[in-house]
Amino acid sequence: MQGTLVEKARRRFGADTRVTGASRTDAGVHALRQVASLTTTARIAAVGLRGALNADLPRDIRVLDAREAPAGFDARRAATGKRYAFLIDTGPIANPLLARYAWHIPQALDVGAMRRALVALRGRHDFGAFCAAPGREKDPMCLVWALHVVRRKERLVILLSADRYLHHMARNIVGSAVDVGRGARDADWLGAVLGSRDRRRAGPTAPAQGLALVRVLYPRSGVLERPSP
């Protein structure tokens, strides 16, 4: 998405236009409320910029809002956290309208056990056990301040809020929670996996299409406000 946005912005506003996305996502992951900072020498109001970009962008990328930001604002560096949602379809037959946006698991999951298991992951911890190999050179400490499992009939959503994420961390947490929900592991297992810092002990990586970035969080003086932990 960022490459397309940069291309269209530079074509419209000039080659010196710079675009910085707040978050990089894996291929196949969706973004409902991505944030980007755009710097240009062109004279244009925020509402005009939104209209111009939407006129040029493909239909699956939309600029929903545009605001003037302080000089030097960087959407990535200013962010204090991100919230993701992972959608699971537990119906016996996969809903074709959700195929691009949900992981189909044709069985009931024990939501209570999943909730109990995820409690151990709240707080500041070393999340090395949930990090894919390409990201293991980075600092493994992350602050997860919210993990929720919400069920609506045959749809289940896992919500994750953290100050930062390791490579595949959200998808590995979901895959591990689903192992608990299926009854393959007990609720205490996830805390033991966290403490082990060993990726081999965690569950499988959940598929990318079920994950969506739903909000980028900023301090009160920034673009958005971060909720209380």
Distance in angstroms (rounded) separating the CA atoms of residues 106 and 32: 26
Are 222 and 78 in contact by the 8 Å Cβ rule? The answer is yes
Check whether residue 132 and residue 199 sit in a common domain. yes
Q: Is residue 188 part of a domain?
A: yes
Number of domains in the chain: 2
Q: Is residue 225 part of a domain?
A: no
Tell me: do 212 and 129 sit in the same domain. yes
Angstrom distance (rounded) from CA 60 to CA 72 = 29
Is residue 151, in this structure, part of any structural domain at all?
yes
pLDDT band at 71 (very low <50, low <70, confident <90, very high): confident
Q: What is the mean pLDDT of the chain?
A: 91
Assigned domain for 65 exists: yes
Q: Which of 1-5, 32-36, 204-208, 223-227 has the highest mean pLDDT?
A: 204-208
Query: What CATH number is given to the structural domain containing 11?
Result: 3.30.70.580
Tell me: pLDDT of 223 over 80: no
- Tell me the mean pLDDT in the region 185-191: 96
Provide the residue range defining the domain that includes 54. Answer: 1-79
Q: List residues with catalytic annotation.
A: 26
Considering the domain architecture, whether residues 41 and 99 belong to the same structural domain is answered as no
Task: Quote the pLDDT of residue 135.
Answer: 66
Instruction: Tell me, yes or no, whether 49 and 73 share the same domain.
Output: yes
Is 80 exceeded by the pLDDT of residue 220? no
Residue 174 shares a structural domain with residue 153: yes
172/121 Cα distance (integer angstroms): 12
Q: What is the pLDDT of residues 96-106, one digit of tens each?
A: 999 999 999 99
Residue 227 within a domain: no
**pLDDT tens per residue, range 144-163:** 999 999 999 999 999 999 99
